[in-house]
Amino acid sequence: MSLFGEIVEPTSRTTWEDWDDDFAQNPFNTQLEWLTPLESNGNIKTTFILEGRYLSNCIKQAQELAEPISSIDSVNLKLYKLKTDNVLVCTIQDYDLLQSSDIVEALRPVVSKSNNVISLLTKPLPDYQSTSLDSSMCIVRKLSTTTAQDNQFNFKNLEQPNIISGVSAGVTFLREHLNLPATVLVYYVDFSNDYVEEINCQLEKLKLIETSKRIHNNILSSNLYI
């Protein structure tokens, strides 16, 4: 008998997608709220988006440079302000990609008022696609909005078919829509290392960490990235 046009129930639960049950139990239909309501910070010079566990921990080790403003703990989103300048630093890690749009919307009051937005994002080195062979343990590429003046970053542009997703991508797209400058620095790194020189040098240049406070931890050696 032909089953064409009929509705057939799956014979095993293994035919369901992994995320079906989670989405049914936890639909993302609630608005994210900051633990402390965001106040007007006046003229925000720059907002930094540090996405990923490695980058997020740089602020934890530089508490003398930045002070916490607010957070949304359900998505591991934290916002800091540098003590020496009107610069904001946002860290985000271990969040569900399905909530990216909600997180970007929560950040809209900040990123829409900033003179500039710079995002740093880490991705596994095997994710980088290129026709040329490169034996580097860290490959850096940048992606900028039309109005960005990113001469300070001497990196090649991110080539197709490579893409970025998540909060950094959403914030950059929002800035492009608002005709505002934004730049994403994508670090393709070998996660078997627990220390990435290129990232630490960039954080120092951006004055987000001090030389004496370089990141030394074993986060990137976690089996999460294997």
Q: What digits encode the pLDDT tens for the residues 105-144?
A: 999 999 999 999 999 999 999 999 988 777 788 899 999 9
pTM: 0.79
- Is the omega angle on the peptide bond into residue 27 within 30 degrees of 0, that is, cis? no
- Cβ within 8 Å of residue 205, ≥6 positions away: none
Q: Any idea where the domains of the chain sit in the sequence? A: 42-225
C-beta pairs of 195-203 under 8 Å, 24+ apart in sequence: 195/220, 196/54, 196/138, 196/220, 197/138, 198/138, 198/140, 199/54, 199/55, 199/120, 199/122, 199/138, 202/120, 203/58, 203/120
- Cβ within 8 Å of residue 140, ≥6 positions away: 155, 185, 186, 187, 188, 198
Q: What superfamily does domain 42-225 belong to in CATH? A: PAC-like subunit (3.40.50.10900)
Specify the pLDDT at position 29: 54
Specify the pLDDT at position 48: 96
Tell me the C-alpha to C-alpha distance, in Å, between residue 42 and each of 45, 46, 144: 9, 12, 25
Specify the pLDDT at position 115: 95
Specify the pLDDT at position 38: 85
The C-alpha atoms of residue 181 and residue 33 are separated, in whole angstroms, by 26
pLDDT in single tens digits along all 226 residues of the chain = 444 444 444 555 554 555 455 544 555 556 899 999 887 667 899 999 999 988 888 776 656 678 899 999 999 999 999 888 889 999 999 999 999 999 999 999 999 999 999 999 999 999 999 887 777 888 999 999 999 987 789 999 999 999 999 999 999 999 999 999 999 999 998 876 667 888 989 999 998 887 655 554 444 434 333 3
Beta carbons of 67 and 132 less than 8 angstroms apart: no
Q: Could you tell me the sign of the dihedral formed by the alpha carbons of 89, 93, 96, 97, in that order? A: positive
Q: Which two tokens stand for residue 60?
A: 């934890």
Which residue has 């959403």 as its token pair?
170
Tell me the C-alpha to C-alpha distance, in Å, between residue 110 and each of 14, 54, 78, 105, 113: 43, 23, 12, 10, 6
Q: Are strands 66-72 and 77-82 parallel, antiparallel or unpaired?
A: antiparallel
Specify the pLDDT at position 7: 46
Specify the pLDDT at position 193: 63
